[in-house]
Amino acid sequence: MPPASAPLRKIVHVDMDAFYASVEQRDRPELKGRPVVVAWSPEPRSVVCAASYEARAFGVRSAMPATRAARLCPGAVWLRPDFARYKEVSRQVRQIFLRHTELVEPLSLDEAYLDVTVERTGLPSATETARVIRAEIRAETGLTASAGVAPNKLLAKIASDWKKPDGLFVIRPHQVEAFLAPLPVGKLPGVGRATERLLAELGIATAGELRRADPRLLERRLGRFGPRLVELAAGIDERPVLPDRPTRSISAERTFDEDLPAPALGPEIERLARRAWEGAERRRRIARTVTLKLRTADFRTLTRRRTLPHPPRDAAEVAGLAAALLAASGLPAEARFRLAGVGLSGFADEAGDDLQGRLF
């Protein structure tokens, strides 16, 4: 049983620069340096699918009504989107990602998260991996991409936007707090204009201020998003990179209404174990590894896991194992918890893959 909490992850977010417009400019050299707007047509109900950086200089943005774009940039070249071609290039880029890791989560044709904690080609760091990927994209597709490197998806995405276009920005674990403190709240995912205004009324303009805010007050004003927002402002984001393929782990977790002491966790763990178990049953997966995740009142997150020689038989056995992991967690008796989770992984059919011989 590994005593440490979950290992540090290395996440890269890659975002192609003005993707559709760049593909068009690449394939039609006469468009280079000219403002290009990709949209169905410059008619009232149509919206902008993509704008080249030349068009952005005029204030044109994607998802803007086409009529407005036409007003802002009268000299723009209008092109109908050719998604088949974009998808082809997107696939080419995906193949580049897959050389480095199989943990690729595409968000759309032009952006993806990569978990490069374990890198396939043996590159020494995530920063180097991101650099190589950007170089490969440029060499093989003639397009530029921006990348963000960070310990989680949230920060990687903010980072990729930081030096856009054609940039690379790295947030190292020890820089997270200093980076986030002055960050305007509007840069956090899910914070739109309405939330931004609401936070401003509370005197909160930056992630640093948000982090120090009273979570109860935020919850009253923002509902369930309030506490989550405080986590985001603290740079906490444990969402895994989910590739488009069979699930690697099935888990259930819960943030409590108020912080709970260890003895009160028992029934919660039982419920979570049952939920995780049912999730695995539904997907007909048989797991051998049980993981307990805990977050303390002071935002420390730790995970404890145990892999069994044989898969557990039922939810009760999973709950029993999770409770044993809690007892052995080494946390002080007075610790209080804001979140608990139970996960199942190490699925039997995955282990089988190594045993299966290959032809090619």
Residue 360 binding other proteins, by CB under 8 A: yes
Name the segment binding other proteins (CB under 8 A); options: 62-70, 79-87, 192-200, 258-266: 79-87
Residue with Cβ nearer other proteins (193 or 282): 282
Q: Are 14 and 169 in contact (CB under 8 A)?
A: no
Q: What's the rounded Cα separation, in Å, for the pair 296 and 301?
A: 7
Helix (H) or strand (E) holding 218: helix 215-222
Whose CA is closest to 288, among 304, 305, 312, 320?
Answer: 312
Choice from 57, 83, 142, 189 touching other proteins (CB under 8 A) = 83
Q: What is the per-residue binding string for other proteins in 238-267, x denoting contact by CB under 8 A? A: ------xx----------------------
Q: How far is CA 277 from CA 270, 316, 345, in A?
A: 10, 9, 11
Selected range binding other proteins among 81-89, 131-139, 164-172, 258-266, rule: CB under 8 A: 81-89
CA distances from 172 to 41, 55, 133, 296 (A): 44, 34, 19, 23
Give the residue from 1, 67, 3 showing the smallest Cα distance to 37: 67
Among 95, 220, 278, 307, the residue binding other proteins under the rule CB under 8 A is 95
* Catalytic residue status for 111: yes
- Interface with other proteins includes 28 (CB under 8 A)? no
Which residues fall within 8 angstroms of residue 346, CB to CB, at 6 or more apart? 287, 288, 289, 307
Q: Which one of the listed residues 111, 119, 231, 270 is annotated catalytic?
A: 111
| One residue of 27, 71, 108, 314 binding other proteins per CB under 8 A | 108
* Distance, first Cα to last Cα, the chain: 36
Instruction: Please tell me whether residue 358 binds other proteins under the rule CB under 8 A.
Output: yes
Closest to 64 measured CA to CA, from 51, 81, 82: 51
Shortest distance, CB of residue 346 to other proteins, whole angstroms? Answer: 12
Torsion of CA 107, 182, 151, 291, to 10 degrees: -90
Instruction: Give the count of beta carbons closer than 10 Å to the beta carbon of residue 44.
Output: 9
Contact track, other proteins, 309-338, x by CB under 8 A: xxx-x-------------------------
Give the DSSP letter string of 297-353.
TTS-EEEEEEE-SS---SHHHHHHHHHHHHHTS---TT-EEEEEEEEEEEEHHHHHH
Please pick, from the candidates 84, 139, 194, 333, the single residue that binds other proteins as defined by CB under 8 A: 84
Which stretch, 80-88, 136-144, 198-206, 261-269, contacts other proteins (CB under 8 A)? Answer: 80-88
Minimum CB distance to other proteins smaller for 103 or for 199: 103
The region of 10-18, 89-97, 224-232, 321-329 touching other proteins under the rule CB under 8 A is 89-97
Helix (H) / strand (E) containing 104: strand 104-108
Q: Does 286 bind other proteins (CB under 8 A)?
A: yes
Q: What are the Cα distances from residue 326, in Å, to 10, 197, 263, 268, 305?
A: 27, 41, 10, 12, 10
Tell me if 353 contacts other proteins by CB under 8 A. Answer: yes
- Residue closer to other proteins by CB (options 62, 303) is 62
Question: Of residues 37-56, which lie at the interface with other proteins (CB under 8 A)?
Answer: 40-41
Size of the site for other proteins (CB under 8 A): 32
Report, as residue numbers or ranges, the catalytic residues: 111
For other proteins, the binding residues (CB under 8 A) are 40-41, 82-84, 87-88, 91, 94-95, 98, 102, 107-109, 244-245, 286, 309-311, 313, 348-349, 352-353, 355-360
